[in-house]
């Protein structure tokens, strides 16, 4: 029973209710860091860790926190976790920390985390909330990797920094500039909505 | 860098939404109507100017001397939440008209990532006080302009035949992409990196 529930939570977070392309949450960073696949991967891991652990902690203390101050408590927990991630990133992977710039700190205001805390962790046991946070983080990471795959491939001709398209490929600079990010996300939402509509009609 | 350059750059060439992607959630959600968008934009500009100034003072006068820079995220969030509450109370008491116009948007602004983003950019780019305030004003005005233009376009296309899957968020994001494309044309005027 427990494993069945966990599986359902994981699937909902990753696929059917994907936070980025279904709920349109957390798209600031989804657009900003997706010019390179490596950036997206690191950002995805950072966000997954913060979401999972904040859901775990918020769910664990949910019965002791008075309802009207829960937002502040949640913000504190999330901000503390983001500081931990930021310090770790600065210590062990400083070039990446420089590259992501303010977007690591902006994980605090990423609506996915607060959304999961309010919608799920508030009413569910800790372990299940942890899985839910993990699933949503993974869903976010997958979307980021999809966007950045296209953007890096067309913009630099490479994937994870490894050149695939050869020296003759003329870099499509637009893809690594801001408009490219908007177009890719728009198209991804379009594809996903059409797929959903078709599935519903059957 | 002269404050004028920062002002111009933060409105046109380094626009918060069109080149830094900050404040997207409310940008997509509250851009159905020009009037509402303008009110939200004004509220954002107002809060940005005040919080950027406050955060500069807190960061450079308190956190740096005490070597507590790593806690800046938490402190910035507290300053933003507290000043939004305070602004709400003050304008409710003294400027009731403004309160009716901005009232419902003020609590939303606490979680608008543009507000925290501007404070973080201010620290990373090592601005002086005047530069920071101007950067706050410029970013707010840029945000106001972008959301108003988007709302105008969305009102125009409301009855157009848009593919089913693209309706709502999809088309809004693509329009934003087109706007960003148009604004790249101005990037040669000033450069802020």
Alpha-carbon gap, residue A79 to A117, rounded angstroms? 13
| Strand ranges, E, within chain A | 158-159, 162-163
> Which residues from B are below 8 Å from A83, CB to CB?
70-71, 73-74
Q: Which of A71-85, A94-108, A154-168, A182-196 has the lowest mean pLDDT?
A: A154-168
Say yes or no to pLDDT of B70 above 90. no
Average pLDDT over residues B100-108: 70
Average pLDDT over residues B77-92: 84
Task: Specify the pLDDT at position B104.
Answer: 67
Asked if A79's CB is within 8 angstroms of B73's CB, the reply is: yes
Say yes or no to pLDDT of A160 above 50. yes
Per-residue pLDDT tens digits for A163-190: 887 777 788 888 888 888 999 999 988 8
Residue B190 lies in a domain: no
What ranges do the domains of chain A cover? 2-148
> Alpha carbon of B18 to those of A62, A151, B139, B174, B184: distances in Å?
38, 17, 11, 12, 9
| Residue B102 vs residue B32, higher pLDDT | B32
A150 CB within 8 Å of a chain B CB = no
How many distinct structural domains can be found in chain B? 1
The tokens for A124 are 């569910």
Task: Specify the pLDDT at position A72.
Answer: 82
Residue B24 lies in a domain: yes
Average pLDDT over residues A50-69: 89
Say yes or no to pLDDT of B82 above 90. no
Of B165, B169, B174, the CB nearest to A183: B174
Task: Specify the pLDDT at position B103.
Answer: 63
Of A25, A111, A186, the CB nearest to B177: A186
| Residue B158 vs residue B75, higher pLDDT | B75
Alpha-carbon gap, residue A4 to A11, rounded angstroms? 11
Residue B53 lies in a domain: yes
Asked if A185's CB is within 8 angstroms of B181's CB, the reply is: no
Residue B172 lies in a domain: yes
Task: Give the containing element (helix H, strand E) for A37.
Answer: helix A37-60
Query: Which domain covers residue B8, as residue numbers?
Result: 3-184
Say yes or no to pLDDT of A201 above 50. no
Per-residue pLDDT tens digits for B51-68: 999 999 999 999 888 988
């Amino acid at each position: 029973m427990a494993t069945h529930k966990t599986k359902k939570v994981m699937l909902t977070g990753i696929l059917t209710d994907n936070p980025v392309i279904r709920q349109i949450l957390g798209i600031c960073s989804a657009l900003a860091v997706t010019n390179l696949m490596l950036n997206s991967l690191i950002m995805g891991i950072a966000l997954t860790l913060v979401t999972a652990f904040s859901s775990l902690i918020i769910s664990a203390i949910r019965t002791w926190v008075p309802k009207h101050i829960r937002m502040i408590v949640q913000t504190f927990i999330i901000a503390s976790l983001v500081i931990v991630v930021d310090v770790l990133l600065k210590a062990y992977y400083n070039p990446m920390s420089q590259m992501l710039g303010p977007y690591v700190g902006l994980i605090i205001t990423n609506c996915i985390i607060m959304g999961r805390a309010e919608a799920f962790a508030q009413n569910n046991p800790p372990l299940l909330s942890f899985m839910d946070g993990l699933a949503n983080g993974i869903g976010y990471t997958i979307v980021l990797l999809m966007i950045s795959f296209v953007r890096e491939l067309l913009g630099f001709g490479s994937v994870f920094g490894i050149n695939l398209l050869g020296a003759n490929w003329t870099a499509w600079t637009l893809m690594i500039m801001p408009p490219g990010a908007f177009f890719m996300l728009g198209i991804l939402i379009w594809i996903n909505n059409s797929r959903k509509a078709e599935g519903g009609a059957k | 860098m002269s404050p004028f350059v920062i002002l111009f750059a933060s409105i046109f060439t380094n626009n918060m939404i069109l080149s830094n992607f900050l404040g997207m959630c409310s940008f997509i959600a509250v851009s159905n109507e020009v009037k509402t968008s303008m009110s939200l934009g004004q509220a954002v500009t107002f809060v940005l100017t005040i919080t950027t100034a406050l955060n500069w003072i807190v960061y450079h006068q308190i956190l740096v001397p005490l070597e507590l820079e790593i806690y800046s995220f938490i402190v910035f969030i507290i300053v933003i939440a507290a000043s939004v509450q305070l602004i709400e109370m003050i304008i409710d008491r003294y400027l009731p008209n403004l309160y009716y116009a901005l009232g419902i948007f003020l609590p939303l602004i606490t979680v608008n990532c543009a507000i925290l983003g501007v404070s973080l950019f201010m620290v990373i780019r090592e601005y002086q006080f005047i530069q920071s305030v101007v950067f706050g004003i410029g970013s707010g005005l840029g945000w106001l302009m972008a959301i108003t233009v988007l709302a105008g376009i969305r009102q125009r296309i409301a009855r157009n035949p848009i593919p089913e899957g693209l309706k709502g968020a999809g088309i809004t994001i693509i329009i934003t992409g087109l706007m960003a494309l148009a604004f790249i044309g101005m990037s040669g005027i000033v450069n802020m990196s």
